Amino acid sequence: MNGIVIAIDGPSGSGKSTVSRAVAQQLKLQYLDTGAMYRAFAWWVLDQGQDPENAEKVGELADHFPLRMVCDPKAPAVVVNNQDITQAIRQPEVTMAASTVSAYPKVRHTLIALQRKYIEVGKKNRGIVAEGRDITSVVAPQAPVRILLTASAAARLARRSKQTGERDQAVLKRTVVTRDQQDARTTSFMEPGEGVHLLDSTALTLEAVIAKVISWVEEETQQ
């Protein structure tokens, strides 16, 4: 029997990563953060001394990207060329470069193929929770449980502020709202597609969100 695939997408600060990791831990599934893959690629482009704005050169680099994702929800890690870059990919310059390079069709094509490979491996085990902007629509549209996790812009800004310690509203807006607007040009993650559960977490605790996701998984697996 194949393991389950749970696909979760949504805008920045909606809680995708926290919720996906927690669900994967509780259900003993693997966990894949596809945003971390775009970040890892951006880190590598910068590490190679390439300009993220140079679409052609960046596209060429995608063919030889030595990425390994560790899909353990208790200790997920991102490894490039045997170097653990799990922390490094959270730096602001990597965040901005990830938004730029993830818009290139060549980069998306390569990383989506890689994401599908990890999902296949997860399926051969107990299953996998995969999260990221286009997971429910493009990467895994056949996933039995697909969820769009949203929250009001105010709630997302407040969460990002708590997470990063940033208090400047203009900076927060730039990293949350503006980046989402930029990303929305290539991926659609604001409206749920057909068959995708919409979960607005604005007024919910983390525990309540996790419980709701697990109830949908149980509904699906008991059918």
Q: In the complex, which residues of this chain contact ligand DC (CB under 6 A)?
A: 12, 34-36, 38-39, 98-99, 102, 132-135, 179, 183, 187
* Smallest separation, CB 115 to ligand DC (Å): 7
Residue in the structure block whose two tokens are 């604005």: 202
* Smallest separation, CB 12 to ligand DC (Å): 6
* Smallest separation, CB 219 to ligand DC (Å): 25
**CB 97, CB 45: distance < 8 Å:** yes
As beta bridge partners, residue 149 has 199
For ligand DC, the closer CB: 36 or 210:
36
Name the residue number minimizing CB distance to ligand DC.
35
* Smallest separation, CB 159 to ligand DC (Å): 13
Dist. CA 35–CA 78, nearest whole Å: 11
Dist. CA 118–CA 30, nearest whole Å: 9
- What is the SS3 assignment for 102? coil
For ligand DC, the closer CB: 27 or 100:
100
Dist. CA 111–CA 43, nearest whole Å: 14
For ligand DC, the closer CB: 50 or 186:
186
Strand (E) or helix (H) holding 61: helix 55-62
For ligand DC, the closer CB: 206 or 211:
206
